């Protein structure tokens, strides 16, 4: 099949590359010339383990093309994916749909034969109707179907999530024409056992927001339970196992940590509230989740201040500053809310991240390794769960005292029983040695 992806951001790039790896001819288009030039040289603009190899393999086989020529891309394709960004708008809550509408207008002007138009971008319910209307209005004789097909890719795990998803969701109001094309497109994935869920376009659009909001709720719930565990001396990990083994609850996304962050949950939970508002529905659960998640970052900052104690000129070293491991993405990273609060208290902050220096943190000291952080800190904060942080070398502190606050529970508290280390974690008993 001839496919084009409008938008070569995270979702468009990963999905386009993987469809080409399934043997389709894929054109990935973007209006950022520098990005396209780099991609044509096999240079990947995002950090996603394994993606560079796939890009280079499919570029070499000529199944994958990167271009800025959107007209050529649309005209040459049977299937046009809209995979442009839908960031939070200026009002601070709605999804900004200008990229989706602009892509729809360009598609309308370039329909030369029947097109299956698939919206992969995360869009509020009824956006598919808007896209259909824009195209019909501009090009009334054109033949096309607009389908919703949300993505469920996690940054850092996107290749695996694309190949082995739990489900493929298709939302379409005219299935007669499209079902067999879509089944063929997703055949390699369905064959491996993914559920193929077919529903209306509006339902599919809402499934995406409901999924992200539900996962954000699960995380926020376990984080609040973790707060309670700390007070009553319970272990949040045991609680997660204890509740997660109930199939009605499920074990995943119950890792307590430093609040959820990233480019999706914060944006999509806010947008869901806005969608509810539009239809006069109070999304009170989601509102509470957002509030609790925001509060958590400040609560953790307070805990850090408390752990450090009163004395002046304290050095805190962060291990990892992105919103989670295996990504270089700083969007809505938890530490961006924690750092200012520590700064106000005169605390010195340094950080190390496996993906390098961050422009968002240019006023902070960047250290080149976790060893450097451990050597130069009174308190080490494990902020993300990179594998390399699971076997840190604490012997380098020699006889000096060190405090660790492990926001990802990478270690067992008793690991530090015989060390000169006070270990704090999330939702578990502290391992604090009195001076
Ligand atoms: C999320 C969803 O998981 C994907 O299914 C979805 O496709 C994507 O958003 C999107 O809408 O594009 P992502 O933001 O990449 O993916 O990252 P997650 O792995 O979901 O993590 C989000 C945040 O929750 C991170 O800060 C992570 O550390 C935190 N988290 C996750 C926890 O604190 N505990 C958990 O158990 C899981």
- Confidence band of 291 (pLDDT split at 50, 70, 90): very high
Q: What is the domain count for the chain? A: 3
266 touches ligand 1 (CB under 6 Å):
no
386 touches ligand 1 (CB under 6 Å):
no
Residues 61 and 154 in one domain: yes
| Range(s) of the domain holding residue 188 | 2-199
Residues 149 and 232 in one domain: no
Ligand 1 mutation pick, 219, 338, 386, max ligand atoms within 8 A of CB: 219
Mean of per-residue pLDDT scores for the chain: 96
E-strand stretches of 131-277: 144-148, 167-171, 195-199
pLDDT at residue 312 greater than cutoff 90: no
Residues 189 and 226 in one domain: no
Residues 7 and 146 in one domain: yes
Residue 433 lies in a domain: no
Q: Per-residue pLDDT averaged across 328-337, rounded?
A: 97
Q: Can you give the CATH number for the domain in which 266 is found? A: 1.10.1040.10
- Burial pattern 280-290, b for ≥16 Cβ within 10 A else e, equals eeebeebeebb
Listed in sequence order, the residues at least 6 apart from 43 whose beta carbon sits closer than 8 Å to its beta carbon are none
Interval between CA 375 and ligand 1 midpoint (Å): 32
> What six digits make up the tokens of 404?
């660790």
Residue 170 lies in a domain: yes
pLDDT of residue 176: 83
Nearest to 108 by CA among 83, 132, 139: 139
Q: Nearest residue CA, atom 19 of ligand 1?
A: 154
Distance CA 163, CA 273 (A): 31
Residue 431 lies in a domain: no
Q: Nearest residue CA, atom 9 of ligand 1?
A: 264
pLDDT at residue 435 greater than cutoff 80: no
pLDDT of residue 99: 98
19 touches ligand 1 (CB under 6 Å):
no
324 touches ligand 1 (CB under 6 Å):
yes
Residues 407 and 344 in one domain: yes
Residue 430 lies in a domain: no
Residue 11 to residues 49, 97, 181, 351, Cα–Cα distance (Å): 14, 16, 21, 29
Beta bridge partners of 197: 169
- Confidence band of 431 (pLDDT split at 50, 70, 90): low
Give the residue numbers marked as catalytic. Answer: 264
Residues 34 and 168 in one domain: yes
pLDDT at residue 317 greater than cutoff 90: yes
Cβ neighbours of 369 (radius 10 Å): 13
- Which of 172, 199, 226 terminates a domain? The answer is 199
pLDDT of residue 433: 59
pLDDT of residue 263: 93
Q: Nearest residue CA, atom 30 of ligand 1?
A: 260
Residue 240 lies in a domain: yes
Atom number, ligand 1, closest to the C-alpha of residue 333: 26
Residues 285 and 301 in one domain: no
Segment 2-31, tens digit of pLDDT: 999 999 999 999 999 999 999 999 999 999
pLDDT at residue 418 greater than cutoff 90: no
Q: Can you give the CATH number for the domain in which 338 is found? A: 3.40.50.720
pLDDT of residue 245: 98
Kind and range of the H or E run holding 424:
strand 421-424
162 touches ligand 1 (CB under 6 Å):
no
Residue 393 lies in a domain: yes
Atom number, ligand 1, closest to the C-alpha of residue 259: 33
pLDDT of residue 432: 60
Residue 194 lies in a domain: yes
- Burial of 380: CB neighbours in 10 Å, binned 0-12, 13-18, 19+: buried
Segment 245-256, tens digit of pLDDT: 999 999 999 999
Segment 162-201, tens digit of pLDDT: 999 999 999 999 888 899 999 999 999 999 999 999 999 9
- Regarding pTM above 0.85, the answer is yes
Interval between CA 178 and ligand 1 midpoint (Å): 31
- Which of 261, 292, 323 terminates a domain? The answer is 292
pLDDT of residue 434: 55
Atom number, ligand 1, closest to the C-alpha of residue 258: 33
User: What proportion of the chain, given as a percentage, has pLDDT over 70?
Assistant: 99
Residues 179 and 309 in one domain: no
- Burial of 432: CB neighbours in 10 Å, binned 0-12, 13-18, 19+: middle
Residue 434 lies in a domain: no
222 touches ligand 1 (CB under 6 Å):
no
Residues 117 and 142 in one domain: yes
Residues 15 and 118 in one domain: yes
426 touches ligand 1 (CB under 6 Å):
no
Interval between CA 149 and ligand 1 midpoint (Å): 19
Interval between CA 432 and ligand 1 midpoint (Å): 31
- Which of 292, 317, 338 terminates a domain? The answer is 292
- Confidence band of 414 (pLDDT split at 50, 70, 90): confident
Interval between CA 399 and ligand 1 midpoint (Å): 39
Atom number, ligand 1, closest to the C-alpha of residue 122: 11
Ligand 1 mutation pick, 211, 324, 332, max ligand atoms within 8 A of CB: 324
pLDDT of residue 239: 98
Q: Nearest residue CA, atom 35 of ligand 1?
A: 253
153 touches ligand 1 (CB under 6 Å):
yes
Cβ contact 351:321 at 8 Å? yes
User: What proportion of the chain, given as a percentage, has pLDDT over 90?
Assistant: 93
pLDDT at residue 229 greater than cutoff 80: yes
Residues 109 and 144 in one domain: yes
Atom number, ligand 1, closest to the C-alpha of residue 332: 26
- Confidence band of 130 (pLDDT split at 50, 70, 90): very high
Q: Per-residue pLDDT averaged across 204-231, rounded?
A: 98
Residues 344 and 230 in one domain: no
Segment 345-403, tens digit of pLDDT: 999 999 999 999 999 999 999 999 999 999 999 999 999 999 999 999 999 988 889 99
């Amino acid at each position: 099949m001839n496919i084009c992806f409008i938008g070569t951001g995270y979702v468009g790039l990963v999905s386009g590359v993987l469809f080409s790896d399934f043997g389709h001819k894929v054109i990935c288009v973007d209006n950022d010339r520098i990005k396209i030039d780099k991609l044509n040289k096999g240079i990947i603009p995002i950090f996603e383990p394994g993606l560079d190899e796939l890009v280079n393999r499919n570029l070499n086989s000529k199944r994958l093309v990167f271009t800025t020529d959107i007209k050529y891309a649309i005209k040459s394709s049977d299937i046009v994916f809209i995979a442009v960004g839908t960031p939070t708008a200026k009002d601070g809550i709605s999804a900004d749909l200008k990229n989706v509408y602009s892509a729809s207008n360009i598609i309308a002007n370039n329909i030369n034969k029947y097109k299956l138009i698939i919206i992969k971008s995360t869009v509020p319910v009824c956006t598919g109707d808007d896209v259909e209307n824009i195209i019909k209005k501009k090009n009334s004789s054109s033949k096309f179907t607009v389908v919703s097909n949300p993505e469920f890719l996690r940054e850092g795990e996107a290749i695996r999530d694309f190949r082995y998803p739990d489900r493929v969701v298709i939302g379409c109001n005219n299935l007669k024409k499209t079902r067999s094309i879509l089944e063929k497109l997703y055949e390699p994935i369905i064959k491996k056992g993914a559920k193929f869920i077919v529903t209306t376009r509006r339902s599919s659009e809402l499934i995406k927001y409901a999924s992200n909001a539900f996962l954000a709720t699960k995380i926020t719930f376990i984080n609040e339970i973790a707060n309670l565990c700390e007070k009553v001396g319970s272990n949040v990990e045991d609680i997660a196992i204890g509740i997660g083994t109930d199939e009605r609850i499920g074990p995943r996304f119950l890792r307590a940590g430093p609040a959820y962050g990233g480019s999706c949950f914060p944006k999509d939970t806010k947008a869901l509230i806005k969608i509810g508002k539009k239809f006069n529905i109070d999304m009170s659960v989601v509102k509470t989740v957002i509030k609790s998640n925001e509060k958590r970052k400040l609560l953790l900052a307070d805990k850090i201040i408390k752990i450090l104690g009163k004395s002046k000129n304290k050095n805190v070293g962060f291990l990892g500053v992105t919103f989670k491991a295996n990504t270089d993405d700083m969007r809505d990273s938890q530490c961006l809310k924690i750092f200012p609060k520590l700064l106000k208290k005169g605390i010195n902050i340094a950080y190390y991240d496996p993906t390098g220096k961050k422009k968002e943190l240019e006023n902070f000291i960047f250290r080149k390794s976790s060893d450097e952080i451990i050597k130069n800190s009174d308190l080490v904060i494990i902020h993300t769960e990179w594998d390399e942080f699971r076997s840190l070398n604490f012997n380098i502190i020699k006889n000096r005292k060190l405090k660790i606050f492990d926001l990802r529970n990478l270690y067992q508290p008793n690991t530090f029983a015989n060390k000169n280390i006070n270990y704090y974690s999330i939702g578990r008993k502290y391992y604090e040695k009195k001076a």
